[in-house]
């Protein structure tokens, strides 16, 4: 088995695109999706359901670390990523040296959505948990997120839009 990919970068939103792109390419190694659809002039980078799930979840967790664990304006230390693309799954570990929090205290989204209850926040962890097979948070320091997504049958879940 190949050694994992390690990416360490400053824990601010400025560096977000670097991490997101690296994760998108790693997801592609698992899903086998090409980088671009040559017949598609729009050349979207993230279309495959597996890639979509992994990138969507990762973006939320990265945002949260940069904003909540490290304050947006305050002193930010590094974010350490360990990305393991295997034949049938991807594992992503995200380590930060910021403020820990109680993930069980996060309020769930309202059950019934209408135009008055549409949320304007508090969606990030819900997105990550719904998109992935495993989202584990271990408060530290260092705080550790462990994200895991299997390749099998991810498309169906996404297409149904179920929030298991």
Partner 1 sequence: MTLPFDVSRNGNEATLVIRGSLDINTAPALGEEIDRLVVTRPTKVLVDLVGLDLIDSSGVAALVKLYKAVRAAGGQVTITGARDQPLAIFKLLRMDKVFNL
Ligand X SMILES: Nc1ncnc2c1ncn2[C@@H]1O[C@H](COP(=O)(O)OP(=O)(O)O)[C@@H](O)[C@H]1O
Cβ atoms 57, 51 nearer than 8 A: no
What values do phi and psi take at 4, rounded to 5?
A: -70, 165
Rule CB under 8 A: say whether 6 interacts with a second copy: yes
Kindly write down the DSSP assignment for every residue of 20-83, as one continuous string: HHHHHHHHHHHH---SS-TT-TT--S--SHHHHHHHHHHHHHHHHIIIIITTSSS---EEEEEE
* Nearest CB to ligand X, comparing residues 85 and 98: 98
Rule CB under 6 A: say whether 121 interacts with ligand X: yes
Please, which of residues 36-75 interact with ligand X by CB under 6 A? 60, 64-65, 68-69
Rounded distance between C-alpha atoms, residue 133 and residue 163, angstroms = 12
Both structure tokens of 88: 């049938």
* Nearest CB to partner 1, comparing residues 87 and 160: 160
The CB-of-157 to ligand X minimum distance in angstroms stands at 20
* Nearest CB to a second copy, comparing residues 35 and 152: 35
Rule CB under 8 A: say whether 107 interacts with partner 1: no
One residue of 11, 23, 60, 83 binding partner 1 per CB under 8 A: 60
Q: Interface residues with a second copy (CB under 8 A)?
A: 2-3, 5-10, 12, 14-15, 17-18, 21-22, 24-26, 28-29, 35, 41-43, 78
């Amino acid at each position: 088995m190949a050694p994992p990919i390690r990416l360490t970068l400053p824990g601010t939103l400025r560096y977000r695109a670097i991490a997101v792109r690296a994760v998108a390419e790693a997801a592609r190694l698992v899903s086998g999706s090409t980088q671009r659809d040559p017949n598609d002039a729009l050349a979207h980078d993230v279309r495959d359901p597996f890639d979509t799930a992994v990138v969507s979840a990762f973006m939320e967790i990265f945002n949260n670390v940069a904003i909540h664990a490290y304050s947006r304006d305050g002193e930010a230390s590094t974010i350490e990523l360990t990305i393991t693309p295997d034949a049938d799954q991807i594992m992503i570990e995200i380590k930060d040296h910021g403020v820990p929090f109680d993930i069980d205290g996060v309020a769930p989204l309202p059950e019934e959505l209408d135009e008055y209850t549409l949320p304007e926040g508090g969606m990030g962890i819900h997105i990550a948990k719904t998109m992935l097979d495993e989202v584990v948070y271990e408060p530290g320091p260092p705080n550790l997120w462990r994200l895991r997504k299997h390749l099998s049958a991810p498309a169906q879940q996404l297409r149904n839009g179920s929030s298991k």
